[in-house]
Amino acid sequence: MIDTGLLLSIALVLIVPWLWSRRTSMPTIAQRGLYDEVSGALLVGLIVSRLAAMALDNPGGLLQVRDLLVIRSGMEFWPGMVAGAVTAAWRAHRHHVPPLRRLADLAPFGLIAYATYEAACLGREGCYGPVSPLGLVPDGLTTRVLPVGLLVALAVGLLAVLTFRMRTKPPGLTIAIAVGGLALARAVASIWLPRVGTGLTRQHLTSLTVLAVIVVSGIAFALTGRSSRTAVPGVFDEGGA
Amino acid sequence: MAVLPMWRRRPVSLLLVLGVAVLAVGCVPSNSTATFQAQGAPIPLPSGGMLPDITGDQFEGMLVSQRGRVVIVNVWASWCVPCRTEAPLLQRASESYPDVTFLGVDSKDGRRAAAQFIDEFDIRYPNVIDSSGEIRQRLGLRGFPTTYIFGPDGALRAGVVGGISEQRLAAQIEDARRS
């Protein structure tokens, strides 16, 4: 017995970015191929995601290998993404590629992978949201609901295209827009997604935190950059990092 | 120098990622399509803290006694990893929805381990033990854990196998409450 919906989601998440990468030309990826560059980062991201979820939901299981291996029990998105990004940046550094440039080149593919996963809610447990006459009826429900997952997929997909078209822009700017946009999409989606109780969900809280960090960092860079602009390029300048 | 194919250059990482993907998929279906309608004389639910070993008839009687309310039945076991993950969510849901009945069914398990599980996660809604396996047979259980959602009319609306997410649990409860 296989959870075919989840299997299909994972397959699509791996295939769709790869197909796109085959048709594009990103300076720091084209030579070796997308999964040559990110397989290690993916693995580290998965492990950290799982460890983070265990630490929050089932700390007693952290020492149990069996508990750790049941990925289906949950993963934490942002810790995994940060860990994966750090791994990819470190790998780029080892190969004498500017880390931020590499991350900026990978951003569109990461975003399209996320959009694919959200869109694949149709094949998993369903695309949930608030009751709406314009919507779908997920399995087990009797009323139509707005498919928030599909809307997130659309928004993040557009963000992927935007960051791809920014590939000649400063890498720090591309990364900030990618991460900030993704955090915003997740935060907004959290408002509409069903939840138990009335407090903020973990997804909502962490996404708002990430968004706040991006915004504050961006403001700080903008203020310091304007006051001390010199001939030395910074991360938000062309060719920086 | 000839460039090796990708699968030869990064076999370990790719295999590990694919292996994790397979583990993520697991070996449980996500939906149970069993039909079930409880019948018989109504039997009151056990109070929190008790862990009675009951028969299939007694289980159905408990469901009958809850007609008019949405009922969430969660079949679990202390050795089941996803059960440990969803336990805090179910306890939180039982507190957030006081008009919904939550009933836990511990099956294929030992009493001491079940009691420890309940203590560990501070589960305060009623739980029973299904030592004979009658309850899981009547429900058509296909994997651990499984969460069944019964409407106020007693009809089984959905069965979610393999751990239920917060989104799905909330959506199912709200939908059942609206019916």
Whether residue B138 lies within 8 A of chain A, CB to CB, comes out as no
The pLDDT of residue A240: 44
How far is A104 from A98, CA to CA, in rounded Å? 10
ipTM strictly over 0.90? no
- For residue A241, pLDDT over 50 is answered with no
Total Cβ atoms within 10 A of residue B100: 19
The pLDDT of residue B13: 56
Chain A residue with CA closest to B175: the answer is A141
Average pLDDT score over residue span A181-186: 97
Whether residue B166 lies within 8 A of chain A, CB to CB, comes out as yes
Q: For residue A89, what are its two tokens?
A: 């940046």
Mean pLDDT of chain A: 87
Residue A197, by phi and psi: left (phi above 0), alpha (psi -120 to 50) or beta? left
- For residue B6, pLDDT over 70 is answered with no
Q: How far is CA A9 from CA A26, A160, B29, B87, in A?
A: 25, 18, 14, 26
- Whether residue A43 and residue B20 make contact (CB cut-off 8 A), yes or no, is yes
List pLDDT tens digits, range B30-48: 555 557 889 999 999 998 7
The pLDDT of residue B65: 97
- For residue A200, pLDDT over 70 is answered with yes
In chain A, residues with a C-beta closer than 8 Å to the C-beta of B168 are 125-126, 128, 194
Whether residue B179 lies within 8 A of chain A, CB to CB, comes out as yes
In chain B, residues with a C-beta closer than 8 Å to the C-beta of A33 are 6
- Whether residue B82 and residue A70 make contact (CB cut-off 8 A), yes or no, is yes
The pLDDT of residue A239: 46
Q: Which residues lie closer than 8 Å to B51 by C-beta, 6 or more apart? A: B106, B111, B114, B115, B118, B127, B128, B129
Give the gyration radius of chain A's Cα atoms.
Answer: 19
- Tell me the shortest Cα–Cα distance from A177 to chain B, in angstroms: 28
List pLDDT tens digits, range A65-107: 777 777 666 789 999 999 999 999 999 999 899 999 999 999 9
The pLDDT of residue A147: 96
